[in-house]
Amino acid sequence: MSEAFWPGGNEAQKGMSCGIFFMPKSLSPGTKHFPKDITILYEDSDILIVVKPFGLLTMGTDSDKSRTLYAILTDYVRKGYSKSPKRIFIVHRLDRATSGILIFAKSMEAKLRLQGRWEETEKKYIAVVHGRCEKRESTITTYLAENKAHIVYSTTDATKGKLSHTVYRVLKDTKKFSLLEVTLLTGRKHQIRVHLAEIGHPVVGDEKYGKGKETYKRLALHAKSISFIHPFSGKRLTFETGFPEYFNKLVERKKQRESLTGK
């Protein structure tokens, strides 16, 4: 049996629907060291589940040393004591431009156990894409590879790419935009963005794989839910968050305009 939790905590995730904040009383952190602008969905002695805001790196890179979610959460678990041996471990990542749910581990053993059963993890996203999808529901399957310019692309050569599966379902649409629920059956770099772009429906605001000349507020991609096996209890946990209201506004404004103009 799975246990489901919904988000709460601080109100930094503007435009997202939030419910009850869940945290075991014995681990309640108080407010002094609570990470600003980060919503914590759940915490126990082994794992930490948070909602990453748009525009924040999961972890630093060689070319970008700006403040990261990893650094913020490391400060949080150390409760202001810089010499504390406590730390967190990255289990998976989201791109800077993608918001949504992330799992962090509090020990190397927890991290390895989570990653060892990653194929059993279920991940769903919400995306707004350009155009009206011909198929209301479909699975995209290709081999994904990356070139020297760090551009991910599909190939028919199984020796160059990794087999990747993306399932999408249309929730609502207009002639210009479609709001999709996307399920990742595999987790490759930029998988959703590349697959949707290659079928002619790039994610709104995607400067790398989409329509570069058009300017939007942000990349319209959000990790909505995750379901996984707890590394030690063996229970399946499910967490879900609302998605940014901006996504709905993109589609609704266009739908209202179409109803008024007929275009």
Each domain of the chain, given as residue ranges in start order, spans 2-261
Distance in angstroms (rounded) separating the CA atoms of residues 13 and 137: 29
Residue-wise pLDDT for 179-199, tens only, equals 999 999 998 999 999 999 999
Position 257 scores a pLDDT of: 55
Tens of pLDDT, residue by residue over 33-49, are 677 779 999 999 999 99
Q: Which residues are catalytic?
A: 95
For 99-156, the pLDDT digits (tens) are 999 999 999 999 999 999 999 999 999 999 999 999 999 999 999 999 999 899 999 8
CATH number 3.30.1490.20 given to 2-261: no
